[in-house]
Amino acid sequence: MLQWLGRDPTVKAPASPPRRRSAGDRHRRHGQPRIPCDVADPWRFPRCRDSSRRGRTVTRPVHLRLSYLGLAFIGGAVGTAAREAISLSLPPLGDVPWAILTVNILGAFLLGLLLDSLARSGPDERWRRRTRILVGTGFMGGFTTYSALAADTAGRLGAGPGGASSPGIGIAYAVGTVLIGGLATFAGIATATTLRRGGAR
């Protein structure tokens, strides 16, 4: 019958090359669903690394997008300049660095106000994400300063270079900044809630 069809039964068909197992095969073998390329990490799944050649695009993480990095850079530069301006305009009074205390508390209040307003207005995408990165991550990150808080505290405790030993003031300054900053954050959230309710009327 096979000879009649033109096939020699003594000749074996060429063996097909072994199929290369992919990450999706491993997931299916273990009973897990295949991960689509739009949510998979392209560095862990090589099949997604070249997905653009097959007409699909891989979404790059936010921290790797140059546009968002540029927004954070611009916001940070402006925030740092604003902090320096406030530091120069507020002369030191006594042994407490009032300028750094002011910018940290003000920044905590504004950050609570901003993030609560953005979170209540919709998902973190498009203009909300750009605003959060520009103003929240960038501006507020440059405006507030943890390094100056640590250096001023160490100086009051006598641990910094040339610092005068004032352990009581140093401890009160560090603890007070954290506590008042937390209260300022809650005040910013409450202010955002009040403004939102007032605008809904």
pTM, two decimals, is 0.64
Position 162 scores a pLDDT of 52
Query: Mean pLDDT over residues 155-173, rounded?
Result: 72
List, for residues 114-142, the tens digit of each pLDDT value.
999 998 888 878 888 999 999 999 999 99
Q: What is the pLDDT of residues 35-94, one digit of tens each?
A: 555 555 555 555 555 554 454 555 677 777 788 899 999 999 999 999 999 988 887 777
Ligand-binding site membership of 191 (annotated): no
What is the residue extent of each domain of the chain?
A: 25-54, 66-200
The pLDDT score that the predictor gives to residue 132 is: 93
Q: Kindly indicate the confidence band of residue 4, based on its pLDDT and cuts at 50, 70 and 90.
A: very low
pLDDT single digits (tens) 88-121: 888 777 778 888 999 999 999 999 999 999 988 8
What is the full DSSP assignment across the chain? -TTTTT--TTSPPPPPPPPPP-HHHHHHHTT-PPPPTTTS-TTT-HHHHTGGGGT--PPPPGGG-HHHHHHHHHHHHHHHHHHHHHHHHS--BTTB-HHHHHHHHHHHHHHHHHHHHHHHHS-S-THHHHHIIIIIIIIIHHHS-HHHHHHHHHHHTT-STT----HHHHHHHHHHHHHHHHHHHHHHHHHHHHHHHHHH-
The residue among 51 and 188 whose pLDDT is bigger is: 188
194 is in an annotated binding site: no
